[in-house]
Amino acid sequence: MVNFGYTPLPTHIHDMDKASLTLADSISFEDASFNLCIACGSCTATCTAGSFTNFSFRQMCHQIKRGESKQAIAESEKCMLCGKCTLACPRNVNTRNIIRLVRKANQTI
């Protein structure tokens, strides 16, 4: 094969062939509402923690769905479990439960 002198940097792409979706699978098994997100961002917009730091529940869920569990777990710690996002979500995603499931995954890893 011809070497063009460059390859795509693996950190810059979602390599879905290699991504581990174990956490995503286990969360959607425990709480089916995890799959219902339409990425509207209401949760992040209303987030109490999000007004002090860059914390996005929506992004965290997305990271899990793309296999970036480590980053997601680290993010989840910023949550205050206040429940505002649960009230804002138009798709009835059980946000507090998902945070707890992610935090529990932190303990098992």
Q: Does 59 engage in binding with other proteins (CB under 8 A)? A: yes
Best CA proximity match to 31, nearest among 93, 107, 85: 93
Task: Please select the residue that binds other proteins; options are 20, 22, 54, 71, rule is CB under 8 A.
Answer: 54
**SS3 at position 69:** helix
Q: Which of residues 1-30 bind other proteins (CB under 8 A)?
A: none
Closest CB to other proteins among residues 19, 86: 86
Q: Residue 62 CB, nearest distance to other proteins (Å)? A: 9
**Is residue 92 within the footprint of other proteins (CB under 8 A)?**
yes
4 Cβ contact list (under 8 Å, min separation 6): none
> C-beta of 109: minimal distance to other proteins in Å?
13
Q: How far apart are alpha carbons 13 and 11 in whole angstroms?
A: 6
In angstroms, rounded to a whole number, what is the distance separating the alpha carbons of residues 83 and 16? 32
The span from the CA of 46 to the CA of 105, in Å, is 25
The binding site for other proteins (CB under 8 A) comprises 31, 33, 38-54, 56, 58-59, 77-78, 80-84, 87-92, 94, 96-97, 100, 103-104, 106-107
